[in-house]
Structure 1
């Protein structure tokens, strides 16, 4: 798989990144540890050597599952994890990083990210300067190699950049959710900041597996996802049906087509979660698809009726 550089660093990352929110189990149903470990191993074997996780995913459980799966291959992997919004004071950042290092069974984290801005989910407001000072210290100590942010607005990213180098931002971004294109993407292009898109398949909506009458378990986070509700769900189903002939022409699945479109966008890498080994293999193959420019534009137009109403919304869920 081709390698790209993370921001302005020399850290090589894959265009398809393995997402492991599911491995933490919290807010997901039907996740099996053995199946997840096998899926992680399979993704790495298939060339997806960049893995994204967070302390919040099952209170470190996802990080520990990753260690169980591939700790013996650490030297060929890039680990990206995150500190949550309730741990953004200086000492809390240091302590959270140490916990993640222990969970991942490693002595360094390639990319350490602020998961949500200070104040999110009614957390205490902490000045970004204080948080960045802690992250810069960890970088100086060699505990982390690069700093990233997640779920930040463009103005919040600009403020963080005043106190240190940010090499990535992790927003929700897919064919059906495109708020990032309004102002974040132009800023990232100008400053060579990598966009690590999460929910790159719109939480499975772009796979074509869900019909608009599907009912999610209330314990499943997709139960509160705006894209799976009412008229939006119906529009998404119609768009997916329009994408099917394009996928057939490229002899790929709908999911692979959506991932190929996403990684063709400027500065963008796609974080794709998995439940099993086959999904890991399928996601890896998406990196091999080279879409024609006219098809990129066609896919873009097909997705707009779903994404346009949410251009000014930053959070996909009604939490």
Structure 2
């Protein structure tokens, strides 16, 4: 699988990343560790060398599963993890990083994100300068190679960039969720910041596997996903019926079509989570799909049948 440059660094990331939120188990149902390990190994076998996790995913469990799956081939991989907003004071950042290094069984993290802005989830408000100072110290020590911010607005991203180089912005971004295009995308293009699209399949909605009457277990985070609710869900189902013929003509799945579309956007790579090896292999094949200009335009128009009706709140869930 061909790789792409991360921001202005020498780090190369794959256009499809292995997402491991599910591996943490928290806020998911029906997840088994051995399935997660097999999925991560299958991702590497399929050419995906970039693995995304976070300290909050199962309170470190996801990071530990990543280590169990691929620590023997760490030198071939790019590790991405995140510090939660409850750990953004200077000393807390340093401690959180050490914990993640231990969980991942590695001596460095290739890309370390601030997971959410300070103050999120009722966390203590910490000046971004303090957090960035800690991250820059970790970078100087060689414990992290690059810095990213996740779920930041364009204004918050620009403020963080006042204190140090930001090489990636991670946000929810899919054919059905496109708030990043309103302002932050242009900023990222101008400043050579790689966009990491999370939930690029709209948490499975864009695979087409969920029917009109589907209901999630209340313990599943997707029960709070706005796209699975009311008229948004109805519009998404209508859009999927229009996307299917395009995928069928190309001989690919809906998931592959959606991933090909998102990775064709400027400076954008996709974090695709998967429960098992079969899903991973399907996702990885999207890297080989090429969309013509007319196909991208048609897909874009279909997607706007969903996004044009969303409200102004960029948060994907009603948490």
Query: Could you say which TM-score interval applies, normalised by the shorter chain?
Result: over 0.9
Deviation at 1:213, TM superposition (A): 1.1
- Alignment-derived partner of residue 228 in structure 1: 228
Matched with 1:74 is 74
The answer for the alignment partner of 2:114 in structure 1 is 114
CA distance in 2, matches of 1:221, 1:184: 26
Which residue of 2 is the match for residue 41 of structure 1?
41
Corresponding residue for 1:249? Answer: 249
Q: Secondary structure at the match of 1:145?
A: coil
Gaps of 5+ in 1: none
Count of paired positions: 319
C-alpha separation in 2, matches of 1:71 and 1:32: 19
Q: In 1, are the aligned partners of 2:232 and 2:310 still within 8 Å (CA)? A: no
Distance 2:71 2:249 in 1: 39
Instruction: Determine the C-alpha separation between the residues in 2 that align with 1:144 and 1:310.
Output: 37
Alpha-carbon shift at residue 311 of structure 1 (Å)? 6.3
Q: Is the 8 A contact 1:79 1:110 kept in 2?
A: yes
CA drift of 1:310 comes to 2.9
Report the equivalent of 2:285: 285
What is the alpha-carbon distance in structure 2 between the residues aligned to residue 164 and residue 314 of structure 1? Answer: 25
After TM superposition, the score normalised by the length of structure 2 is 0.99
Partner residue, 1:174 = 174
* Equivalent residue, structure 1, for 2:212: 212
> Is the counterpart of residue 88 in structure 1 residue 88 in structure 2?
yes
Match of 2:130 in 1: 130
1:17 and 2:17 are equivalent in the alignment: yes
Q: What CA deviation, in whole Å up to 9, does each residue of 1:147-166 have, x standing for no partner? A: 00000000000000000000
Partner of 2:3: 3
- Give the Cα separation in 1 of the matches to 2:137 and 2:103: 21
CA contact (8 A) 1:179 1:310 kept: no
**What is the DSSP-based 3-state SS (H/G/I as helix, E as strand, rest coil) of the residue aligned with 1:144?**
coil
| 3-state SS, counterpart of residue 172 of structure 2 | coil
Match of 1:57 in 2: 57
1:140 is matched with: 140
The offset of 1:221, in angstroms, is 0.3
Pairs within 5 Å for 1:20-31: 20-31=20-31
SS state at 1:314 partner: coil
Question: TM-score, with normalisation over the residues of structure 1?
Answer: 0.99
Counterpart of 2:309 in 1: which secondary structure? helix
The answer (yes or no) to whether the contact 1:17–1:51 under 8 Å persists in 2 is yes
Deviation at 1:250, TM superposition (A): 1.2
Is the Cα contact below 8 Å between 2:23 and 2:31 reproduced in 1?
Answer: yes
Which residue pairs with 1:159 in the alignment? 159
State the Cα RMSD in Å. Answer: 0.6
* Deviation sequence 1:27-74 (CA, Å, 0-9, x none): 000001011100100100100000000000000000000000000000
Note if contact 2:19-2:272 (Cα within 8 Å) is conserved in structure 1.
yes
Match of 1:197 in 2: 197
2-structure distance, mates of 1:246, 1:59: 41
1:183 paired with 2:174, answer no
